[in-house]
Amino acid sequence: MKQNDTERGASSETPQDVRMEWHANCTHTECTMHQLSPYIGKIKSVIARDLIEQYAMPGDLVLDPFAGSFTVPLEAAVLGRRAAGIDVSPYSFVLGHAKLYAPVSLPIALAQCDELVLRALSRPAPDLRRVPVWVRRFFHPRTLREAIQVADQCLAEKNYFVLACLLGIFHHQRPGFLSYPSSHLVPYLRDKKFPRLEYPEMYEYRDVISRMVRKIERTYKRPPPEKSLRRSVKLMDIRSARLPEDVNCIITSPPYMNALDYGRDNRLRLWLISRGADTDVDDAGSGRKDGFDVLMQCLAKKGQKALVAGGHCVVVVGDQSERGYSGSPAQKVQSIFGEFAPQLKLVGSEVDRIPDIRRARRDCRGVRAEHFLVFRKYK
């Protein structure tokens, strides 16, 4: 029997009540697997949770075709939904596997890490002369050698959880991280704020192993419940991806048009994963004038085919528009869906103003609001 919106979990709360909850700090209440490694521009877990509870029932398949940090698939799995996510970024692929297929307990995770590290440190020490100068500038040589050895062993064994933990502590200025003083998200050295002569301790060797152990312990502070539901992580571009055809709900935040450069902003972590390979994850095209349109056309056409009748597609769109692109991105998405996905009808549209504290850029430039467009599939 076909269910209506209320039966499928649509909230009866007013939009104002829901949005107030979205602005609350969830860092100390969310599953700590969400905090595995930084990812610029990611959707808040409390927002993902609310949308999943509104538009997907337990056991439903929830898909994020621009999964990024895999916040939506992880939260879907935590809530007892089947979870699937795809993304073009190798960094996203690592995070998705790490979060959805993490060891079931802290003791198992620590044991896996210990065994992997022993094998990693028995590998030949890497020749740092082969490492780009811009990477070497961030690390003590001994620290960088250990990090490369561990990363190479993780990649050889396809242990994405340990690799994600390593990526999570790869650069920052705090003692628990591996680099010289630098920013946590977009990597740049902070040697002007922390001169080497005044802060010599921040430029000393930092051992990888003890910091990895503490990172894993933090990750399991609030672990997800054990679930046996099907999960899926794929590294692919939506333009060539074949989506499942039994999706109950799509919740996604596509790359903000002209606002973020994921290759640049994740360049250190991408280098560690892909060493010398092409890491231009922005080839998906959201930064080009017509690239955003192409991605949204693919989402509309493939999303319409993937969704079951009565299913919902929630698209989170940033409001920034630059570089010669005219018109609102949210209006553009609605226009594209109207042309390429006639079975998907807009049933809700709301705006969430982004507080300055949630913006990634230091001067608070960039996206100032997010538009939540809710489409429902009709026969």
Residues 234 and 329 in one domain: yes
Rounded CA gap, 378 and 310, in Å?
6
Residue 83, domain member (yes or no): yes
Residues of the domain holding 171: 106-219
Question: For position 275, what pLDDT does the model report?
Answer: 83
Question: For position 261, what pLDDT does the model report?
Answer: 78
Residues 313 and 365 in one domain: yes
Percentage of residues of the chain with pLDDT beyond 70:
83
Residues 250 and 367 in one domain: yes
Rounded CA gap, 225 and 105, in Å?
10
Across-strand partners of 352? Answer: 370
Question: For position 373, what pLDDT does the model report?
Answer: 96
DSSP strand E in the chain: where?
Answer: 61-64, 82-87, 231-235, 247-252, 307-318, 344-353, 369-377
8: confidence class by pLDDT, cuts 50, 70, 90:
very low
DSSP code of residue 209: H
Residue 96, domain member (yes or no): no
Residue 9, domain member (yes or no): no
Residues 361 and 238 in one domain: yes
Give the count of domains, the chain: 2
Structure tokens at 217: 């312990």
Distance of CA 222 to the CA centre of its chain: 19
pLDDT at 225 over 60: yes
Question: For position 358, what pLDDT does the model report?
Answer: 45
CATH of the domain at 250: 3.40.50.150
Question: For position 328, what pLDDT does the model report?
Answer: 82
Which of 135-139, 252-256, 293-297 shows the lowest mean pLDDT across its residues?
A: 252-256
Query: Which one has a higher pLDDT value, 270 or 18?
Result: 270
Contact between 345 and 373 under an 8 Å Cβ cutoff? The reply is: no
Rounded CA gap, 188 and 198, in Å?
19
Residues 151 and 236 in one domain: no
Percentage of residues of the chain with pLDDT beyond 90:
68
Residues 240 and 369 in one domain: yes
Rounded CA gap, 358 and 258, in Å?
18
Mean pLDDT of the chain: 86
Residue 326, domain member (yes or no): yes
Residues 122 and 172 in one domain: yes
Query: Which one has a higher pLDDT value, 139 or 283?
Result: 139
Which of 6-20, 89-103, 198-212, 330-344 shows the lowest mean pLDDT across its residues?
A: 6-20
Question: For position 111, what pLDDT does the model report?
Answer: 98
Average pLDDT score over residue span 317-341: 80
pLDDT at 28 over 50: yes
Question: For position 133, what pLDDT does the model report?
Answer: 96
Residue 4, domain member (yes or no): no
Question: For position 41, what pLDDT does the model report?
Answer: 84
pLDDT tens digits for range 48-59: 999 999 999 999
Rounded CA gap, 89 and 234, in Å?
10
pLDDT tens digits for range 76-107: 999 999 999 999 999 999 999 999 999 999 99
Residue 8, domain member (yes or no): no
Structure tokens at 116: 């992997």
pLDDT tens digits for range 118-176: 999 999 999 999 999 999 999 999 999 999 999 999 999 999 999 999 999 999 999 99
